[in-house]
Structure 1
């Protein structure tokens, strides 16, 4: 398209100039006062040819005889615009010399023709064609060479990616596909695959953690359950003893199942980010829901449970947040005595959301506050209380799922658990 535009503009402009020159000369001849008769017209044609290099002319009478000019009568091919071709010099191109002419019919029946050498225009036309042919050939050659080099580079990168992929398939899950840092389409694709591998690695690590937790921390309750059943089997017992042993075994089994469920829930929260579940959460409604759910438990234990929250909304998973605050309230109910006051609240702190649960119970010693987030860790004073030691681990996992953090503060007296989350 660019070639056609340049060619059309350059050649067309020169052709228009030639036509303008020929037309102006023809008008000048006809406007000359001496051109009123054939003799005067012949003189004007002869003078025009002599004064303008490359000019051509021809004047014929009604019978077709030449009265003036430097073109043979036989070359005349009618009136209007005509391109004639005359033999060129020996060092030129033979019989291909172009002449742009305009011919008109005179009132007396004669014919007047004026022309100009158009060799320059035709030469320019051919020069442009040759230039673009050469340029096109060079462009094609460069394109082929560039394509070859680019394809070699891409193939080398693909080969490197393939080798890394084979290593990953053989079990090297820490390996990642190589990038060049150019942020091109292939780099973006590879980065997407690496992000996927990171996600898979996180899932594998979560499963490994769950497996380790099950292997190390469920061994004791399972061994205790087996020993109790073995003891019951070793000697005959009365019906009441059998029932008591079965009841204790059922209780232990339920505790083990609860622990399994808690571990799997923590792994699921830590490894699966379901953005579709995030929605605006009304803080007062969230707090009121938690208080309503755990009010019966608090009343049964002789404790006072209340809620308070500023009127604001933030983005989060409502079900997980209810579970998180519920775990904190449940811990407060179970690990404090009758008469304890437990409060649940929410407020905006700068660009963050603060959710908290506070009680005026015995609290947690400062030296133990970091340890209680470890899975299965239990304070000495709470070992006789039912539980798996996973409550705060679950709270921390839910807070992390929302991009937040958990901290334990001294409520003097009691404990205050604060969860900081981003507003959006």
Structure 2
């Protein structure tokens, strides 16, 4: 065989299609032969039991009709059976092993069940039929044997082996056909996944695995993979957006630092002036570092790094503690802080993160609600959740921007003149999601209402 032919055979043997067809065919043939063999053996067992029962009944009938277990009593009965029961084999021998009645040749006087390789009715060369019977030793030293033709059992065995051999061929053909069909279905689906993956790798992030509409496990797996691809697409788009936002937001503080340093180098400045320039540079660098710190914390929150650092918390007590330093701030801003806190069931959470989330919402309300505004903070139970609401009557947010403000680095036009990096609400949302809760923005007419809903914990420590 040429090397090309050998390589083709190796590729065929190594292919998934060949392995699927081979395994399916072997399994199919083995299963078919097992069922066929068990069925045939069961049929043989039933036929054997029937033969044994028939012979036993015939022997008992002989002794019952004779009224004794000796040659004298059995002789007329056996002679009558020979004439009227042609389907049976009978043999009656005296104590000298001389045949006195029956339709068989001489047998050795062996008691019990017997299988005879030939019928003994005629010489062996003329009759090859098997016989099953039972031998009885008589009280006077004689011997009595009654049997029946067992050739149907032999034919059944022969038919079984013939069926097995032909079954191997038939089941083998069906197994190969079924394996090819299974291979086509599975490998076609796998190739569809492979084509989709290669298309995504080439940059077509919107490509998805086509569903067959059967609703089976393959469709369910395809849906899961499509969801994974969609999530990856969203993450990559988010990464592109974050990269663009970082490049945009980091340019300003770094450019200012560069300008300040250029001015410091170009101009003759006194020591106090140099220190002032350095102080400004440090402020801008701190702003840049704050952005990186916030992004790092967001990444940790989204990866679940903080999930193990939880404790049982009373949100009423926690919110009351967060509000403590803001009373003076609100008073300085000529604002009013209205607090409504009622007892709630404990939750399990991270104290520092939840304090930061509540503080971010309060600071946003103070910053964007303006003077003479009213800021309301309330804590109350709602079913299996604890709700924390921070509301104000300030400028608010347009309804179409409710989802957008949770994106990273998003700052609406009305907040451009305020300090910040556009990551506050993104952090709040990540913290709330980490605790299995939700945050919802709504119109306070006027102003904005932020509602945090956190699941309570039952006594066994399982989230409600």
What TM-score range do you get, normalising by the shorter chain? 0.7 to 0.9
User: Partners of 2:353 and 2:37 in 1: how far apart?
Assistant: 68
**Match of 2:356?**
323
The residue correspondences of 1:25-424 to structure 2 (distance < 5 A) are 25-32=58-65, 38=71, 41-73=74-106, 75-76=107-108, 78-86=110-118, 95-177=127-209, 180=212, 193-266=225-298, 269=301, 271-272=302-303, 276-277=307-308, 282=313, 285-293=314-322, 295-299=324-328, 302=331, 308-314=341-347, 319-335=352-368, 342-350=375-383, 353-359=386-392, 363-365=394-396, 367=398, 370=401, 373=405, 375-377=409-411, 380=414, 383=417, 385-399=418-432, 402=436, 404-410=438-444, 416-420=449-453, 424=464
CA 1:65/1:364 → structure 2, altered by over 3 Å: closer, same or farther?
same
RMSD (CA atoms): 4.0
Preserved CA contact (<8 Å) 2:91 2:145? yes
CA 1:357/1:196 → structure 2, altered by over 3 Å: closer, same or farther?
same
Deviation at 1:71, TM superposition (A): 0.7
Preserved CA contact (<8 Å) 1:62 1:111? yes
Could you tell which deviates more after superposition, 102-111 or 121-130? 121-130
User: Partners of 1:325 and 1:94 in 2: how far apart?
Assistant: 108
Q: Which runs of 5+ in 1 are unaligned?
A: none
Deviation at 1:143, TM superposition (A): 1.9
Could you tell which deviates more after superposition, 123-132 or 35-44? 35-44
CA 1:192/1:389 → structure 2, altered by over 3 Å: closer, same or farther?
closer
CA 1:273/1:194 → structure 2, altered by over 3 Å: closer, same or farther?
farther
Could you tell which deviates more after superposition, 178-187 or 57-66? 178-187
Deviation at 1:97, TM superposition (A): 0.4
CA 1:404/1:234 → structure 2, altered by over 3 Å: closer, same or farther?
same
Preserved CA contact (<8 Å) 2:199 2:207? yes
Q: Which runs of 5+ in 2 are unaligned?
A: 1-33, 457-463
User: Partners of 2:111 and 2:78 in 1: how far apart?
Assistant: 17
CA 1:95/1:278 → structure 2, altered by over 3 Å: closer, same or farther?
farther
User: Partners of 1:31 and 1:416 in 2: how far apart?
Assistant: 106
Give the count of matched residue pairs. 414
CA 1:335/1:56 → structure 2, altered by over 3 Å: closer, same or farther?
closer
Deviation at 1:94, TM superposition (A): 6.2
Deviation at 1:70, TM superposition (A): 0.9
- TM score, norm. by length of structure 2: 0.73
CA 1:19/1:249 → structure 2, altered by over 3 Å: closer, same or farther?
closer
Deviation at 1:248, TM superposition (A): 2.4
1:239-287 deviations in whole A, cap 9, x for unaligned? Answer: 3333333322322222233234334544665x535694596864xx234
CA 1:22/1:346 → structure 2, altered by over 3 Å: closer, same or farther?
same
User: Partners of 2:399 and 2:260 in 1: how far apart?
Assistant: 33
Query: Is residue 24 from structure 1 mapped to residue 57 from structure 2 by the alignment?
Result: yes
- TM score, norm. by length of structure 1: 0.79
Q: Which has the larger radius of gyration?
A: 1
